[in-house]
Amino acid sequence: MTLPALDAFLAFAQADGTLAERLRQPLELEELLALGRSHGFALEAEDVLAAQQREEASLSAAELQQRAGADARKLRSFIPG
């Protein structure tokens, strides 16, 4: 699969209310891939990761810093002590 195909799946999902709602929920990577495959899209983990990198590349330094801070706060809740 390619990034344009992943984009096509996401556009398809937005047009389907049930699928769009499912994608708003937290999903493991394998769940996302299986969901795409069940709708006829050959999704690959590498393409999903490339899409995340593409999104992060479009963010400003301040936005990246905010995202890193939010991730750090999430991690702290899992670390005992």
Residues 26-46 pLDDT 10s: 899 999 999 999 999 988 999
CA distances in angstroms from 77 to 46, 64, 69, 70, 72, listed in the order given: 29, 21, 13, 11, 9
CA angle (67, 70, 73) in 5-degree steps: 150
Q: Where are the domains of the chain?
A: 3-76
Q: What is the percent of the chain with per-residue pLDDT over 90, rounded to a whole number?
A: 47
Nearest CA-CA partner of 12 in 50, 43, 54: 43
Residues 48-64 pLDDT 10s: 989 888 988 998 989 98
Q: What is the percent of the chain with per-residue pLDDT over 70, rounded to a whole number?
A: 89
The pLDDT value recorded for residue 73 is 77
The pTM (predicted TM-score) of the whole model is 0.69
Which amino acid is present at 69?
G
